[in-house]
Amino acid sequence: MKIRRFRPDSALIALGLGLAAPAVAQDDVAARIQAVEGAHVPVTGDAKGGPPETLVQAMRRLHVPGMSIAVIRGFRVDWVKGYGVADTASGTAVDADTRFQAASISKPVTAMAAARLAQEKRIDLDQDVNSLLRGWKLARPAGQGWPPVTSRSLFSHTSGAADGFGFPGYAPGTPLPTFAEEIEGRAPSPLGAVRFDQPPYRSSRYSGGGLLIMQQALSDVTGEPFERLMQRLVLRPLGMAHSSFEPPTGAAPGYARAHDESGKRMDAPWHIYPEKAAAGLWTTAGDLARFVIELARGGAGEEGTVLHPDFARQMLAPVGVGEFAVGPRIVRKGDEWYFYHGGSNWGFEARIIGHLRKGYGLVIMTNAQGSGAALIEEMQARIFEAYHWGGG
């Protein structure tokens, strides 16, 4: 197992921007890891409230082959560690560099690219998205007089889109639909068309189709393929060296494989998502932690690598309808406020959480569909408990 250790920034902690002190010494990373891995009372399923179990026992009970965790403390990565196996067929161990599918966490990462383009004055998050699109245009019902659909409304799932997607993905080697085929609901896409049946900001309705539109819009504005613009605007500047919106090819060592809720390897190594902005990011827990830290610094008024605080705060500001801001959800746990996003793809589950002000959070990635989500709940509870975080 490979463990990465990072020292917290003592200056930020001295300014009161760090988290509440855990029960162990400030510098004792090993003790904090042990507190997370040790025996905790289960919080999910039939075992809820039962005898304490270790992290490894929780993975076995829930049939999750592999998991990677990154914990953030004081605006720094405290530690990253892999558990279990990336592939039950080969027995390859998960380590800190194992890549998992981030699934819908791709959405807030994409939103950061849009926020950076807004910062560079190349777009405005509140301009009509049709002014960004060069070919296909979003049609509106004639005579409605509705306000325009914007990047802000699309990223916050308040655009009026009625699709509710959820993308199933495609096995490697399967013909992939084009943007036009997906947006219009034509084969080989198995989904219906993306339709807008109410004005923006009337209600919050989750829309993968909205992110498909933003994927095309960002490419049209920059003149770059989506995966390339994401590397340039977000992934490379943040040092996310093990991250890509391109699917793996060939044997792909270092990539986790998809497993079902019983821990059995699925009939393809993974699915491919042409809906890259919505579901296509491959990354590590440590890389995603860099993204969480960038937003957390902005929320606390600190200058980021990609975003100035004003634009990070735009990503963290709810639009007034529903829980979503420009990318992440904004949720309350007790008296504490967090930004959050989950991800669920075929064979993978993941989650990110960051405190809006205090510089702490976590990333958890698993390679098991369904049961991986239950394990994430267990790990989140024990991390909050071990670190004495508010609202756990």
Task: Give me the tens of pLDDT residue by residue for the chain, a chain 392 residues long.
Answer: 333 433 333 322 222 333 333 344 457 999 999 999 999 999 999 999 999 999 999 999 999 999 999 999 999 999 999 999 999 999 999 999 999 999 999 999 999 999 999 999 999 999 999 999 999 999 877 678 899 999 999 999 999 998 987 899 999 999 999 999 999 999 999 999 999 999 999 999 999 999 999 999 999 999 999 999 999 999 999 999 999 999 998 888 999 999 999 999 999 999 999 999 999 999 999 999 999 999 999 999 999 999 999 999 999 999 999 999 999 999 999 999 999 999 999 999 999 999 999 999 999 999 999 999 999 999 999 999 999 998 76
Length of the chain in terms of residues written: 392
Q: How many CA atoms lie within 13 A of 269 on its CB side?
A: 19
- C-alpha 63, offset from chain centre: 23
Element (H, E) at 299: helix 285-299
Q: How many CA atoms lie within 13 A of 357 on its CB side?
A: 8
User: Can you read off the two tokens belonging to residue 129?
Assistant: 């998205």
Question: What is the amino acid identity at position 89?
Answer: A
String of b and e for 107-137 (b: at least 16 CB within 10 Å)? bbbbbbbbbbbbbeeebebeeebbebbeeee
Task: Kindly give, in sequence order, each residue whose CB lies less than 8 Å from that of residue 277, ignoring residues fewer than 6 positions away.
Answer: 106, 107, 110, 211, 212, 214, 215, 218, 226, 245
Q: Which residues pair with 53 in a beta bridge?
A: 40
Question: What is the amino acid identity at position 78?
Answer: D
Task: Kindly give, in sequence order, each residue whose CB lies less than 8 Å from that of residue 18, ignoring residues fewer than 6 positions away.
Answer: 8, 12, 73, 74, 75, 358, 359, 360
- Cβ contact 62:374 at 8 Å: yes
Rounded to the nearest 5°, which phi and psi values hold at 345?
-110, 175
- Cβ contact 383:362 at 8 Å: yes
Q: Which of 135, 132, 170, 164 is nearest to 151 (CA)?
A: 132
Domain range annotation of the chain: 3-67+76-103+255-273+303-387
> What distance in Å separates the CA atoms of residue 41 and residue 53, rounded to the nearest whole number?
6
- DSSP state letter for 49: T
